[in-house]
Structures are given as C-alpha cells and as structure tokens.
Amino acid sequence: IPMEFERQFIIVEVTISNKGNLDNWEFDEFYNLKESNEQFLPELKSQISQIIKEMEEWTPGKLIGKDVNSKIWLDIDLDKER
C-alpha cells in the first residue's frame, strides 16, 4: 500500500487518577509517520501534552463501587480530513 494511503497516528497512554486527574501520559507509539513529518514530532508532542494538561477532570474508573486509577489509550490521528 502506498504511504499516502496509510493513516498517520500517535497512541498516547493516559493515567486517570481515582480523583479524575490526568496524572501521567506517555507517547506509546507513532504509526506510519511520514519521514517529512518526523521533524515536527517534538512540537506535536508538546502541543498534545499542553492539551492534556488543560483538560478538565475526567470521570475515574470504578471497581466494585470504588473510584480507582485507570489507563486509557488515545488514538490521535495526524492526517488532515480525507
């Protein structure tokens, strides 16, 4: 499949505390990133981190009726609309 048909995306692993705070996030994987876009990776990571920092509290996970820490994976599409 030619590269122009491959979707470029980043997976970010986010930890949600039992209070609903986004305490930690890691950039897990970068998929199909075009070579011409690799130079923008530090800025992309910075912008994504800033957006996560500015998010309001999330609803924490629950286990047996108690709020618990949890993890989610955000799939962030880097392609313009198709």
3-state secondary structure of 3: helix
User: Which of 1, 15, 9 lies closest to 77, judged by CA?
Assistant: 9
Global pTM reads: 0.78
Q: What confidence score (pLDDT) does residue 56 get?
A: 94
Q: What is the spatial distance between Cα 47 and Cα 27, in angstroms, rounded to a whole number? A: 12
pLDDT confidence of residue 1: 47
CB 1 within 8 A of CB 68: no
For 20-51, what is each residue's pLDDT tens digit?
999 899 998 788 888 888 888 899 999 999 99
